[in-house]
Amino acid sequence: MKLAVPLALVIGVAAINLACMPGEFIPGDPGAWRREAASIMVAGDLSVPAERVFGERGGVFVQNETTGAWYSKYGLMNSLMSLPPMLAHRLAGGTEAELAVQPWLIAHNLWNIALSCALAALLYAAASAYTSRLALRVLFVVAAMYCSYVWFYQRAQNSEIYQVLFFTALFLCLKAFLRRQAWGWLWAAWACVLALVLTRVVYGLLLPAVALFVLYVGCAGRSWPEIRQRAPQLGMALALPPMLIVALLAWINDVKFGAPWLTGYHQWRQEHHWPTGSLGEGLYGFLVSARFSIFLHFPLLILALPGVRRFARCYPLDSIFIYGCLGTFLLYLASLPSWAGEWSYGPRYLIFVLPLASLPALVFAERVLGDSRAWPAALTGVLALAAFGYSAYLQVQVNRLPFFAYYHARVAAEFSPVAVAYFENHVGVISGDLLRHRQNHEALPYFDDFKRRVGPRTLHAYKSSLSETIERGNWFWR
């Protein structure tokens, strides 16, 4: 029974994701790291042939000023994570051009399913530390993966799925280190940090965070002689991994961009990648706005709020790490001019930490279920299931349409103030509206105002584009 439940959960995740595989690649950034992965596989080189470069200079690919060669500006881990499905394509006889430009969609879909299954297993393991109820563990995983925008990123061949995976693994490794005081778990945690840093350079914020956390754990409650005795081993575990990670990143940057301190974001809109934006605007967006609120896109987090205080009291070190990371990244990312991460669905830059930040929901649920009165548990359960059910419904609507259907429809906002308000205040609902009015676009809430403001040619082109987007859908088996 101990393994039967998580095994059944993983099989269920595989079955759902297999049935709901996307019928297209998500456009944009992943195309760059697939081209880099093809170069690694075929030529053993990180540079991408100039004829396969797309976008503005520095936008997706960076040109090395010294050698003139082109490189993906994104972290190397993105390309490494693209290698397994591309290797399968290569072994099946795929050419270099096919690998780089026309990759094998089903192989990438199956790879994402494998990553989703691994994430389900890790989230179940994390939930097991806070509740003995099997049903709550399973509900936590299902709510995190299918009643939130995480489902979108399980399907999209983007980096968000393995960002969540790596961060959850980091947390579990640190918990194992705290519980067993086995240094091997700490080195495994540093390996997860390395994977995250090589995915996105902003995860460099984890280097001091993890080091300070482990330093506190290693010294708290111990006498000075004990600390001195452990100092060489502790110092090695705290100083060496960050130094190696920084050195490796610097070497990769030097190879790709021409200098150790260049991260790939120096040739295109540099001002968007430094914390020079409005912190208030970013915080409002992440916390309150309809399009990017972490609470609206990850409703399990709302259920966690009543349990945060008790969670912090019962698991202080876990709380320090989880909410220390959430607070640090929230403040830093909110201060970026590009905090929204367009084009995207929901607050994708914060997705990595939200499942773990929702763990207090388990503590709250345990308290409610332990209440001697029946009605609080029943009422809370009904409200939670209603919220999860509605969110799951919205995720289904979003996933039925092409990845960027929202942006294709949002073209109307360029002409109509009513459309601006509609698209800014609705996200998942928009997909439902588009599907419901697929045969009569003029029934859309913003269409009357849009129709009055544009000419017949623009109106016809918009309706044709909308029809094509909706009818194309995003199901592999279709």
What rounded mean pLDDT belongs to the chain?
A: 91
Which residue carries 């999860």 as its tokens? 388
pLDDT in tens, 47-72: 999 888 888 888 889 999 899 999 99
pLDDT in tens, 393-429: 999 999 999 999 999 999 998 899 999 999 987 767 8
Q: Which residues contact 82 (CB under 8 A, 6 or more apart)?
A: 30, 33, 34, 37, 108
| Per-residue model confidence (pLDDT) at position 374 | 63
**Whether pLDDT at 193 is above 70:** yes
DSSP 227-262: HHHHHHHHHHHHHHHHHHHHHHHHHHHHHHHSSTT-
Question: Nearest 5°: CA angle at 249, between 243 and 251?
Answer: 100
φ, ψ (nearest 5 deg) of residue 63: -95, 125
How far is residue 179's CA from residue 171's CA, in Å, rounded to a whole number?
12
Ranked by mean pLDDT, the top range of 84-98, 141-155, 207-221, 236-250 is: 141-155
Mean pLDDT for 318-328 is 95
Contact 438, 470 (CB under 8 A): yes
Mean pLDDT for 196-216 is 92
Chain centroid offset of residue 25 CA: 17
**Whether pLDDT at 222 is above 70:** no
Specify the pTM.
Answer: 0.94
Mean pLDDT for 242-260 is 94
pLDDT in tens, 130-185: 999 999 999 999 999 999 999 999 999 999 999 999 999 999 999 998 887 778 89
| Per-residue model confidence (pLDDT) at position 220 | 67
Contact 9, 460 (CB under 8 A): no
| Per-residue model confidence (pLDDT) at position 187 | 92
Question: Nearest 5°: CA angle at 160, between 158 and 164?
Answer: 150
**Whether pLDDT at 372 is above 70:** no
| Per-residue model confidence (pLDDT) at position 403 | 93
Lowest-confidence pick of 35-39, 52-56, 216-220, 249-253: 216-220
Mean pLDDT for 209-233 is 76
Q: Which amino acid is at 56?
A: E
| Per-residue model confidence (pLDDT) at position 436 | 92
Closest to 298 (Cα-Cα) out of 220, 359, 367: 359
Contact 419, 445 (CB under 8 A): no
Lowest-confidence pick of 172-181, 312-321, 373-382, 391-400: 373-382
pLDDT in tens, 427-472: 678 999 999 999 999 999 999 999 999 999 999 999 999 999 999 9
**Whether pLDDT at 211 is above 80:** yes
DSSP 355-383: HHHTTHHHHHHHHHHT-SSHHHHHHHHHH
| Per-residue model confidence (pLDDT) at position 96 | 76
Which structure tokens are listed for 193?
A: 């940090």
* Long-range CB contacts (within 8 A, 24+) of 1-8: 5/134, 5/137, 5/138, 6/121, 6/124, 6/125
Q: Which residues contact 309 (CB under 8 A, 6 or more apart)?
A: none
**Whether pLDDT at 3 is above 90:** no
pLDDT in tens, 91-131: 888 777 788 788 899 999 999 999 999 999 999 999 999 99
**Whether pLDDT at 328 is above 70:** yes
Closest to 113 (Cα-Cα) out of 14, 242, 227, 5: 14
φ, ψ (nearest 5 deg) of residue 57: -60, 120
